[in-house]
């Protein structure tokens, strides 16, 4: 008998133990510095060279690119290695699920990756580390080396659409899974949050692990308020044992 598919929607709360702050929590980045949101808003970024300069400095100083996976990331990868079919749908851009051992083809990055850059004119892509090396060398706003266009992080900024192919794959997984865990996400940002309802509507067992209440708590089979670093490994071990027992 095939083992049930487990889908995990991961938000910023999954990476806070790795030293990456969340955005909308009580101490989140947007609450502490509302101006910071402009640095990742497409319209402001494209229009204002000073916003771009500040954005590049923010990336240069960010811990996110140097962060290491934590217990939650490792637990997800361990479940996948045990033979349970696992798919990760992540709102995070830090690449820590892959760093922990999840195969890249089993991770859908809804909001792109902070480890790459893309040209807004010719759409050429390259490594973030190369662009940051140019910033370190004194370029305030490094242009595309191919066409001179504006470079940006290969992440989905506010005001940009999600990649329709990635989103379509995420919807398909949400419809097909038997267990759907929403972990460390406020479930307030759509369309990502709506995947939770899609999974529940298609019969998945819905588990929400988050410090704060979410709009989907009322339809969840289980809501966990414990710290993610301990709660998620325990939940995934229980899921793994249940599938070994055929339950």
Q: Which residues are catalytic?
A: 111
Measure the CA angle with vertex 224, ends 105 and 243; round to 5°: 55
How buried is residue 24: exposed, middle or buried, by Cβ count under 10 Å (0-12/13-18/19+)?
A: middle
Distances (CA, A) of 61 to 29, 64, 120, 138, 152: 15, 9, 23, 15, 16
Measure the CA angle with vertex 173, ends 172 and 177; round to 5°: 125
Alpha carbons within 13 angstroms on the beta-carbon side of residue 54 total: 14
Angle between helices 228-244 and 71-81 (to 10 degrees): 10
CA 48 from centroid of its chain's CA atoms: 27
Distance CA 96, CA 98 (A): 5
């Amino acid at each position: 008998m095939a083992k049930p598919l487990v889908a995990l929607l991961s938000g910023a709360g999954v990476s806070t133990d790795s030293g990456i702050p969340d955005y909308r929590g009580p101490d989140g980045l947007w609450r502490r510095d509302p101006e910071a949101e402009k640095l990742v808003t497409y319209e402001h970024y494209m229009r204002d060279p000073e916003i771009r300069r500040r954005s590049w400095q923010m990336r240069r100083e960010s811990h996110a690119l140097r962060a290491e996976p934590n217990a939650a990331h490792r637990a997800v990868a361990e479940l996948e290695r045990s033979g349970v079919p696992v798919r990760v749908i992540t709102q995070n851009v830090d690449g820590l699920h892959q760093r922990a051992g999840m195969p890249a083809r089993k991770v859908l990055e809804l909001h792109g990756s902070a480890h790459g850059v893309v040209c807004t004119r010719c759409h050429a892509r390259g490594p973030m580390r190369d662009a940051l090396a140019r910033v370190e060398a004194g370029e305030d706003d490094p242009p595309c080396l191919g066409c001179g266009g504006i470079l940006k992080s290969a992440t989905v900024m506010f005001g940009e659409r999600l990649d329709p192919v990635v989103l379509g794959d995420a919807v398909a997984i949400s419809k097909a899974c038997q267990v759907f865990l929403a972990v460390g996400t406020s479930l307030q940002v759509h369309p990502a949050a709506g995947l939770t309802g899609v999974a529940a509507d298609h019969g998945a067992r819905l588990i929400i692990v988050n410090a704060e209440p979410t709009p989907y708590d009322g339809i969840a089979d289980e809501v966990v308020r414990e710290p993610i670093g301990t709660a998620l490994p325990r939940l995934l071990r229980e899921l793994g044992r249940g599938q070994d027992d055929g339950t």
